[in-house]
Copies of this chain bind each other. A is one copy, B any other.
Amino acid sequence: MRDLTAQTSAQAYVPGVFDDLTAGLGLRMSFAQNEEIYSQEEEAEFIYKVISGAVRTTRLLADGRRQIGDFYYPGEFFGLEPKEEHRFSAEALCDTVVLVIKRSTIQSSGSSELQHEIWQATAQELTRAQDHLLLLGRKTACEKVASFLCNLARRQSAEIVALPMGRQDMADFLGLTIETVSRMLTQLQKGRSVRFVDHRHFRIENPDAIACMCE
């Protein structure tokens, strides 16, 4: 990870961006697309919050197989793990600004509200991981892709949903190959469940059909 001491200017509190308890704490850091925020097996000294952009956490096997743990969007915490070391690395999906908070700061801040917020975020993370387990272990390729689109749509609650990641990232999140992801996307389109306006934007045409594939 980059040297934190190198940046000192970005601590300013931006009013209105967040209503929360992290205001004024930690450092803001910018990362270019695909830049590493922290690495697998690095000591988990900080916790992180997305300010703008998006983040993926990834884990590699020795032979290059890759699993994406989750994607994080503005306002969400990541890097929440018990002391020790990180099991996943984190990378910027696109140009991204992140708030970096030292763990010891949280302890010493004495804010039990903040501690509670972080516990909530950890438990929330666990819930998402559990949904992900079911998806990876027991869903078919088509159900995986449908569930993924459905989740994105739910989080964004917009008519046209943006896909912030490429096909390889989707594949590595879903435990599939890019080819299979691509095939399932065209299959869902032929079934009139979704429609892509371009490679990175879609709308859900038939919410019932999608919902039924997500269970």
A-side interface residues toward B, CB under 8 Å? Answer: 59, 61-62, 65-67, 69, 80-82, 84, 87-88, 112, 115, 118-120, 122-127, 129-134, 136-139, 172, 174-175, 215
Contact across chains for B124 and A82 when beta carbons are under 8 A apart: yes
With A82-B124, A127-B81 known as contacts, the answer to whether A134 contacts B59 (CB < 8 A) is yes
A169 to chain B, nearest CB (A): 13
Measured CA separation A138–B61 after assembly (Å): 9
From A130, which residue of chain B is reached at the shortest CB distance? B87
**Which of B65, B130, B133 is A138 in contact with, Cβ under 8 Å?**
B65
| Residues in B neighbouring A174, C-beta threshold 8 A | 137
From A59, which residue of chain B is reached at the shortest CB distance? B134
| Residues in B neighbouring A59, C-beta threshold 8 A | 130, 134
Copies in the complex: 2
Contact across chains for A87 and B136 when beta carbons are under 8 A apart: no
With A112-B112, A122-B119, A123-B80 known as contacts, the answer to whether A66 contacts B138 (CB < 8 A) is yes
| Residues in B neighbouring A112, C-beta threshold 8 A | 112
Contact across chains for B127 and A87 when beta carbons are under 8 A apart: yes
Measured CA separation A126–B125 after assembly (Å): 7
Measured CA separation A179–B175 after assembly (Å): 22
Measured CA separation A119–B123 after assembly (Å): 9
| Residues in B neighbouring A88, C-beta threshold 8 A | 130
Nearest 4 pairs of A and B residues by beta carbon: A137-B175, A82-B123, A136-B136, A129-B129
29 A/B residue pairs, CB under 8 Å, sorted by A: A61-B134, A61-B138, A61-B215, A62-B215, A65-B138, A67-B134, A67-B138, A69-B130, A69-B133, A81-B123, A81-B126, A82-B120, A82-B124, A82-B127, A87-B127, A87-B130, A115-B115, A118-B119, A119-B119, A119-B122, A122-B122, A126-B129, A129-B129, A129-B133, A136-B175, A137-B172, A137-B174, A137-B175, A138-B175
